[in-house]
Chain A
Amino acid sequence: MSQIGHNISLTERARRIRRHALRMGEVQGQGYIAQALGVADVLAVSYFHATNYRPEDPDWEGRDRFLLSIGHYAIALYAALIEAKIMPEDELETYGTDDSRLPMSGMAAYTPGMEITGGSLGHGLGIAVGMALALKRKKSSSFVYNLFSDGELDEGSTWEAAMSAGSYKLDNLIGIVDVNQMQADGPSIGVLNFEPLGPKFEAFGWFVQRVDGNDIDALVKAFDAARHHAEAAPRVIICDTKMAKGVPFLEARDRNHFLRVEPHEWAEALRIIDAGVQA
């Protein structure tokens, strides 16, 4: 577990991750804000409860690897990296601008703490398989986390990786699926029906849990169970999240895959987040 900041509650961490994401979004006036707000609780539990890392040494060999498969969600992970002090907060203002270490889509070469380049979807879980195999070769006790999305369930490569992880019984691999029910062309289920999802992973030999991805207590319990599960099997935590969670007027927008937010709305969104208002 991270050695820093146990005095700050995970709920507060999630609130601050949302705040960082909104401030970055404001720099560009638009972006994958709804996903960032939706997945903030998952990231708070990941970075402040479940994973080992050293903020001052993002490449520390003993760290748990946290892979963001969905490069589009970079703004969400940047917010977590800033909150985890792996990235300095003042660079938040450079988001998506020239010479920034925080490009619009997540790339490993740019950002400390960004383990992979994830913009082409369906890469993360397979890379995680390779890393998990490699960590076993090195007799490392580190875990590999891969955060991927329900949209990435459309990609066949995700399922190649899922089958392989089960076949190799990769008990050091923890998949986190952000099921926010929205992808580029509309509601995820309508694009390609991936349900029932849990049984699919189970059939591939995974230890499966499905939780409300905006319920911090449920997430803590699921991450603990994933890490301490006794069987030699990969683990997946399917997280049902709400797009734009925490900012009700953004939650209410039905086309929120790529949010455009009016200039005056940013301050309002920040005010709501700061007040801790939950929908």
Chain B
Amino acid sequence: MRRSKYIRPAHLESGIDKPRLTTSAMIASIAGPDQPTRPAPFGNALAILARNDERIVGMSADLAKYTDLHVFRAAHPDRFYQMGMAEQLLMMSAAGMAREGFQPWVTTYAVFASRRAYDFICLAIAEEMLDVKVVCALPGLTTGYGPSHQATEDLAMFRGMPNLTIVDPCDASEIEQAVPAIAAHKGPVYMRLLRGNVPLVLEEYGYKFELGKAKLLRDGNDTLIISSGLMTMRALEAAKQLRNDGVDAAVLHVPTIKPLDEATIVAECRKGGRLVVVAENHTVIGGLGEAVAGTLMRAGVAPPAFRQIGLPDQFLEAGALPTLHDQYGLSTLKVTEAVKTWLST
């Protein structure tokens, strides 16, 4: 339920001062206060890759600066194309570029690529198996600007598109590795982008990105958390906290949503007796959770319990991002609490 415009904030009525969390930035940082970060991992990785690959061009729809593509633009100005605030054109012209042998990397926000330009990605690019990489900021709930900017259903939409590879990376190091891997893959790719100062969390797990592969980051006997994107970060933090409470949580990171690494998912879920929790930065409808559920049903694997952490089937509220992550269950605290509750019932 969203707030009503007819009800004044309660703390103003009560006269009690309330600490105010603000949403000043379009893209609020998802990094915690003490988390190490790296700036613009996507833009830097693409700029480096393009030094030795003349096919690469960058295109954006008035959002180069907000998708880290400005780093590429600064490094290779003659290879950057500004297509204006016209996402349909962005996808069409990328298709034309790809038809002529170039590898366009196009950027916009995930809401605009999915909701506004779906037909153009589908028929001008995917149906033709063209080598276009669609890289989109603000996936799921990563801004407090409300539903106009929150791409809570992008995976549900894009999973239905044949030929399209879908990648939902977790941190800066994974984005840096994903860029060359995606470039080497011949065909259309949709990548959910974390931009700005992006946390570094996977290096301590000795993780290496492989397109199409799920990786077990830590093992545990009580529960298996299957996650993608920034929720893997949350799952790892939650697992550490759960350890303090004597709960042993495994985390399986699934950065490639499509094609899904069904073999690894089934194998991990077959290891008996564990509560299976799928955590995703996306509506619980049509994303990783339902993809995993379908996989398990088809494989005849039934874990003792199956739960989803994800966004509700609602248009979400506007507000400060940490507040919203708490409210909709994506914060480390909420993930930890949810797992504990499910294990005790």
B120-171 at interface with A (beta carbon < 8 Å): 120, 123-124, 127-128
Q: Decide: A128 near B128, CB < 8 A? Known: A120-B119, A134-B101, A160-B86.
A: no
Partner among B97, B123, B128 whose Cβ is within 8 Å of the Cβ of A133:
B97
Minimum distance in angstroms from A184 CB to a CB of chain B: 17
Chain A residues with CB below 8 A from B98, complex form:
130
Is A108 among interface residues, defined by CB-CB distance under 8 A?
A: yes
Chain B residues with CB below 8 A from A129, complex form:
89, 92-93, 96
* Measured CA separation A120–B95 after assembly (Å): 14
* Measured CA separation A135–B96 after assembly (Å): 10
Of the four ranges (under 10, 10 to 19, 20 to 34, 35 or more), the interface on chain B belongs to: 20 to 34
* Measured CA separation A115–B101 after assembly (Å): 14
A121-143 at interface with B (beta carbon < 8 Å): 122-123, 125-135, 137-138
A254-279 at interface with B (beta carbon < 8 Å): none
Q: Decide: A123 near B83, CB < 8 A? Known: A133-B96, A134-B102, A156-B88.
A: no
Assess the B88–A134 pair: CB atoms within 8 A: no
* Measured CA separation A72–B144 after assembly (Å): 43
Assess the A126–B93 pair: CB atoms within 8 A: yes
Chain B residues with CB below 8 A from A119, complex form:
123
Chain B, interface SS category: helix
Assess the A120–B123 pair: CB atoms within 8 A: yes
Minimum distance in angstroms from A121 CB to a CB of chain B: 10
Partner among A107, A115, A164 whose Cβ is within 8 Å of the Cβ of B93:
A164
* Measured CA separation A128–B92 after assembly (Å): 8
Chain A residues with CB below 8 A from B95, complex form:
116, 123, 126-127, 130
B161-200 at interface with A (beta carbon < 8 Å): none
B296-318 at interface with A (beta carbon < 8 Å): none
A158-193 at interface with B (beta carbon < 8 Å): 160-161, 163-164, 167
Is B99 among interface residues, defined by CB-CB distance under 8 A?
A: yes
Minimum distance in angstroms from B190 CB to a CB of chain A: 18
Chain A residues with CB below 8 A from B89, complex form:
126, 129, 157, 160-161, 164
Of the four ranges (under 10, 10 to 19, 20 to 34, 35 or more), the interface on chain A belongs to: 20 to 34
Chain A residues with CB below 8 A from B102, complex form:
134, 137
Is B81 among interface residues, defined by CB-CB distance under 8 A?
A: yes
Is B245 among interface residues, defined by CB-CB distance under 8 A?
A: no
List 29 A-B pairs, Cβ < 8 Å. A115-B99, A116-B95, A116-B128, A120-B119, A123-B92, A123-B120, A123-B123, A126-B88, A126-B91, A127-B92, A127-B95, A129-B92, A130-B93, A130-B94, A130-B97, A130-B100, A131-B100, A133-B81, A134-B99, A134-B101, A134-B102, A138-B100, A157-B89, A160-B86, A160-B88, A161-B92, A163-B86, A164-B83, A164-B84
Binding site for A on B (CB under 8 A): 57, 81, 83-84, 86, 88-89, 91-102, 104, 119-120, 123-124, 127-128
Q: A-B pairs with the 3 shortest C-beta distances?
A: A130-B96, A126-B92, A130-B93
